[in-house]
Amino acid sequence: MMRPTTNPTASLAPYFFQVAYVMDDVAAGARWFQATMGVPHFERLDNVTFGPGCRFRGGPADSAAHLALGFAGDVQIELIEPAGGRSIYQEFLDAGHRGLHHVAFLVPDFAATTAGLAAQGLACVTEGVMEGGMRVEFAYFDASPHASSIIEILGFDEAAHAFMAGLKRKGRP
Residue 138 pLDDT > 50: yes
Average pLDDT over residues 23-40: 96
Residue 4 pLDDT > 60: no
CA distance 42 to 68: 6
Domains and CATH numbers, the chain: 13-170 (3.10.180.10)
> What's residue 1's pLDDT?
38
| Structure confidence at residue 2 as a pLDDT band (50, 70, 90) | very low
> What's residue 118's pLDDT?
94
9 in Cβ contact with 117 (< 8 Å): yes
| Structure confidence at residue 38 as a pLDDT band (50, 70, 90) | very high
> What's residue 9's pLDDT?
67
Nearest residue to 87 (alpha-carbon basis) of 56, 43, 46, 120:
56
Nearest residue to 171 (alpha-carbon basis) of 97, 77, 83:
77
Q: What distance lies between CA 105 and its chain's CA centroid?
A: 8
The sign of the torsion formed by the CA atoms of 11, 162, 156, 4 equals negative
Q: What is the pLDDT of residues 42-66, one digit of tens each?
A: 999 999 988 778 999 999 988 999 9
Residue 39 pLDDT > 60: yes
Average pLDDT over residues 10-35: 95
Q: What is the pLDDT of residues 61-86, one digit of tens each?
A: 889 999 999 999 999 999 999 999 99
